[in-house]
Amino acid sequence: MNSGEEPGEASETGGGLLLGRGVDALYSVATRKLALLGLDPYDIEDVAQEVMLVVVRRSPDYDPGVSSVDTWVGGIARKVARTHQRKKSALQARTIGFEQVGEIQDPVDRLEVVFTSTIASLRDLDRQLLTMRFMQNMNSSEIAAALGMNHEAVRSKIGRAVERLRSSLQIREGLYLA
């Protein structure tokens, strides 16, 4: 609050200008932007609420000299929507093929579906490291040279990738192979 400003008054800079615009107007900007980005209509309300939380938290950072309120809120909406889409895609990747698992009687075939979908759910780098290490039989020094990474970093990343794979398989095995 600026000196001379009464409590409850919005300042004409940063957060005050945003909040002076009205929460409903900001929410409307967020939902319009999310719809234009092609977000699933069922997700728009939830994502718009996440956008509003970020807007309120970052309102002191808003600079009216840099962008309009609509542009600033739209940029936040784009970033939050991108994060939402990534999380949703990751969740879908983790569940690929599981619809058919219950229909498969042969335990080996069931395990193949679980293993294949688990591998598909890994991050690209994890998949690449595990493929190079265990399918191409490359050691960590060779992988480091091929990827332009530090040898110790490669060893650490492979260890974490194996642990993530193991953990994911244990969860899935319990859920789908029991």
Last residue of a domain, one of 27, 60, 93: 93
What is the rounded average pLDDT of the residues 135-150? Answer: 90
Q: Looking at the structure, do residues 172 and 107 belong to the same domain, yes or no?
A: yes
Q: Is residue 116 part of a domain?
A: yes
Count CB-CB contacts under 10 A for residue 141.
Answer: 11
Q: Looking at the structure, do residues 84 and 108 belong to the same domain, yes or no?
A: no
Q: Looking at the structure, do residues 43 and 89 belong to the same domain, yes or no?
A: yes
45 lies in which domain range? Answer: 14-93
Q: Looking at the structure, do residues 31 and 87 belong to the same domain, yes or no?
A: yes
Q: Is residue 160 part of a domain?
A: yes
Q: Looking at the structure, do residues 116 and 145 belong to the same domain, yes or no?
A: yes
Q: Looking at the structure, do residues 23 and 85 belong to the same domain, yes or no?
A: yes
Q: Looking at the structure, do residues 83 and 108 belong to the same domain, yes or no?
A: no
- How is residue 171 annotated by DSSP? H
How confident is the model at residue 173, as a pLDDT?
56
Q: Looking at the structure, do residues 61 and 113 belong to the same domain, yes or no?
A: no
Q: What is the CATH number for 136?
A: 1.10.10.10
Q: Is residue 49 part of a domain?
A: yes
Count CB-CB contacts under 10 A for residue 170.
Answer: 10
Question: DSSP letters along 72-138, please?
Answer: HHHHHHHHHHHHHHHHHHHHHHHHTTHHHHTT---HHHHHHHHHHHHHHHS-HHHHHHHIIIIIS--
Q: What is the CATH number for 70?
A: 1.10.1740.10
Q: What is the pLDDT of residues 90-137, one digit of tens each?
A: 666 555 555 555 666 676 776 777 777 778 778 888 888 988 998 889
Structural domains of the chain, count: 2
Q: What is the pLDDT of residues 37-82, one digit of tens each?
A: 887 888 888 889 999 999 888 888 888 888 888 898 899 999 998 8
Q: Looking at the structure, do residues 19 and 88 belong to the same domain, yes or no?
A: yes
